[in-house]
Structure 1
């Protein structure tokens, strides 16, 4: 009954029609206890699907409010319960000696102290949550991981922006769209929606505001801007606010780690290495290790901007460096020393920090006995090191996993048995995202293929499966030959099916295609140079060999279709263009973005197994290849064309891809598809090869005939006529003399 009444109650909370909407997503029902976010969100999506826009807005906003209230309550209750008298664990349980402690406690005594303290803390948290969240407390508002992930990705704002648009509230629609787009910058549909909002007359620049970004990022960016203008005095309060905001955001994240434990699947337990083994202490240890792992990840989460994949390197130490430099610039030497000493807590051997400290102390003159590192940073480091010790202990003795997010962790803290392995892992830190150095293909595959070919990106770096980017398949001269071939063929009107008309995929581009057989026929007739046609044939085989060696060394691949394709932007039709050069698709199945399924059935070319795109040039705008999730919206990787670059990938639904609009110039590439099925081998390729071989043999014969004979005497007539045949293949008849 309550669930049926919830939409009606929320409708009563809506403002009357025509009332001004408050800015942002203000609380709908001040003072009322929050409702279950998962139920509100589900009801909001049902209302959205039914086209009930006003109830959808109310329910989705209330779901966001309830989720935020749950996080605030967990943070506040955790802090207040930790500060209660007697809440701290006895020092003996923490490994610290107590004065006059007497004999060590027996197993039963420390066990009782530990569990009694845990029970007291649980009681305090339960009572606090009930006061803040209403009867049932946090247990009533428990949110499953899938929903937490949806809120983290800001998915409610995607629905909100569309609902606001239907309600003609463009300012709020733009704000909700911008909020979603900040966290999902590669979302294609939202990218188009944002462009449409910018063109609407009722939307102002200030409408594009982020309603969710943690406040420390705004002041952080402002402080960097002020420092860039050499305004250290104005930047100082912003720098301090950004640091305090970062620490506060970290505390909020850590509080979320103490939420209810969800039942993990076998794969997740194996990945974390902290699965319960059935006993009381194993279960306690497993849950505690997961909490500690989560707390340590808060460093990366706080340092990662919304919508970005990697954290800002050394986020806290870098802020402290800017603080001590700014304080020194305005003459606050005491504060400069405090902050540089805090940097040295992270990196005791930092030469730049030690040099700055010596300089500040010399300028300050007399020593200040009470001058030391910042207390908030000392607390942060001591707590973090204590958690790391426990995680490394569990890693060594319990077989759990832990990826240390901090490059400043002292090596002495790490058990000696783990140091070598962790040293290898440290070389793979997620923020070391410089472009990978090309390595010879033979480094990756134990076969000798083509000299000079390098693997630039593999599947992991392209965020997918069975994808690779390889460079060096063509020299600049070879690219020039193939580009000239495409121009000559286009000039002769020999376009394979498209006749140089507007592209079948977009009205803003022209599309030209040339097959290997057509190229061979044009070369035979003298319309195009034979060098380009021969190179086209040879390069396609080069790509096939490479693709087979990389993806399918145990099973032969055959070319199923080869197509030299050029896309040209039509001048005067590119302004405010929103479409793609080639929409998102898969090569051997029909992609259904709504369900994420890819149906391997006609009209798809179901026999295609691997695809390849070999680029010939980069002197154009747009035209990048991109991969997406199965929803055809979320971009997972993007590749810029260049001469000799091959992008090879499996042709199925695991690799949906498309092409960004070509907005200027002409983009040419050789598209190739490969198959395991020999019956689908490209017959035109074999015909083209035979045709070019015949032409080559004829050219050789003509050259031999034109070459002067070593014998100066003329060839006997009988021998001269031996090789002559008419069109029917018969010797010519001699004219009879009358």
Structure 2
């Protein structure tokens, strides 16, 4: 996910608990167990760490921060398990698995608006470690070593506006259409899914497993609902922060995506796209993870303003 690791539900369910810091804080509307996903990542690390360290010094830059590309992509053979699963969802199978980057899909004014939403929301909390999330769908907000529901915080009652949610949905729709077109799937067969969230990463040392975002992982193994993953970067590598590059771990070499404000990186969520995020060493990295599923039972609606 660059991407912060979001929550994972228990197998066969769509709900999980979001921890809170006090008994007076109500759970979010869409409950997601953020702790389970971080524990799962750590379990996977033992399997993948050897791959990571043998490739760590063998980096090829897929797209740099200084470049502006209309579209840059690479096709990859789908992993067998991913391909087999998508046989159950006609119209949602990609022409070929892979990854793609778009730099002109989202306008600078839209990026600025989303960054403003992220900063406002995360100002109401934030992890004691370096990794914080804001989920406008469930309300989950990092707060110390746990999570609260931002929609239940009195001080955040008038924090967001209808326009905020309109821009959020408008940009999501752009990304949805770009994925549909690039991978050759039917538009009405691809659904937004959870977790979809804003992330903020700083160099602060981790305090809990929630803060350890840098472990190699496969999205489909981490999030049962994922079939297509996308990230929209809201700040710039080497200007706003150092470290924090998104790295695909391939057999021949690691392929690096340098975050650029407004850059959308999208990829199939199977094990053909094993990846990790470098630790941020300086500054602050903001992004939005927007995830999609082919399974309608995992679909979620756009968030709405709550008062």
Asked whether the two chains share a fold, i.e. TM above 0.5, the reply is yes
- Within the candidate set 110, 127, 132, 1:501 is matched to 127
Q: TM-score, normalised by structure 2?
A: 0.60
Residues 434 and 533 of structure 1, relative CA distance in 2, 3 Å threshold: closer
Q: Which residue of 2 aligns with 1:568?
A: 202
Q: Is the 8 A contact 2:63 2:257 kept in 1?
A: no
Q: Which residue of 2 aligns with 1:661?
A: 279
Residues 477 and 458 of structure 1, relative CA distance in 2, 3 Å threshold: same
Distance apart, 1:678 and its partner CA: 1.1
Q: Which residue of 2 aligns with 1:615?
A: 233
Q: Which residue of 2 aligns with 1:489?
A: 121
Distance 1:456 1:564 in 2: 24
- Within the candidate set 583, 588, 594, 2:215 is matched to 583
Distance 1:308 1:654 in 2: 17
Show CA shifts across 1:592-648 (max 9, x none). Answer: xxxxxxxxxxxx433321110111111111100010137xxx743100011111111
Q: Is the 8 A contact 1:470 1:647 kept in 2?
A: yes
Q: Is the 8 A contact 2:191 2:296 kept in 1?
A: yes
Q: Is the 8 A contact 2:63 2:258 kept in 1?
A: no
Q: Which residue of 1 aligns with 2:259?
A: 641
Q: Is the 8 A contact 2:101 2:265 kept in 1?
A: yes
Over aligned residues, Cα RMSD in angstroms? Answer: 3.7
Show CA shifts across 1:244-267 (max 9, x none). Answer: xxxxxxxxxxxxxxxxxxxxxxxx
| SS of corresponding position for 2:220 | coil
- Within the candidate set 671, 687, 702, 2:289 is matched to 671
Distance 2:63 2:107 in 1: 25
Q: Which residue of 2 aligns with 1:456?
A: 72
Q: TM-score, normalised by structure 1?
A: 0.26
Distance apart, 1:517 and its partner CA: 5.2
Distance apart, 1:581 and its partner CA: 4.1
Residues 536 and 626 of structure 1, relative CA distance in 2, 3 Å threshold: same
Residues 585 and 438 of structure 1, relative CA distance in 2, 3 Å threshold: same
Distance 1:516 1:547 in 2: 21
Would you tell me which structure has more helix in proportion to its own residues?
1
| SS of corresponding position for 2:164 | helix
Distance apart, 1:434 and its partner CA: 10
Q: Is the 8 A contact 1:581 1:623 kept in 2?
A: no
Q: How many residues are matched? A: 216
Q: Is the 8 A contact 1:617 1:641 kept in 2?
A: yes
- Within the candidate set 246, 253, 278, 1:625 is matched to 246
Q: Is the 8 A contact 2:103 2:263 kept in 1?
A: yes
| SS of corresponding position for 1:560 | strand
Q: Which residue of 1 aligns with 2:157?
A: 525
Distance 2:300 2:199 in 1: 17
| SS of corresponding position for 1:459 | strand
Distance 1:581 1:664 in 2: 15
| SS of corresponding position for 1:569 | coil
| SS of corresponding position for 1:485 | helix
Distance apart, 1:482 and its partner CA: 1.4
Distance apart, 1:191 and its partner CA: 7.7
Q: Which residue of 1 aligns with 2:37?
A: none
Q: Which residue of 1 aligns with 2:135?
A: 514
Structure 1: runs of 5+ lacking an equivalent:
1-186, 195-306, 310-432, 440-453, 494-499, 504-508, 590-603, 696-738
- Within the candidate set 151, 172, 182, 1:540 is matched to 172
**Which protein has greater RCO, CA pairs closer than 8 Å, 6+ apart?**
2
Structure 2: runs of 5+ lacking an equivalent:
1-50, 77-95, 141-149
Would you tell me which structure has more strand in proportion to its own residues?
2
Distance 2:98 2:186 in 1: 15
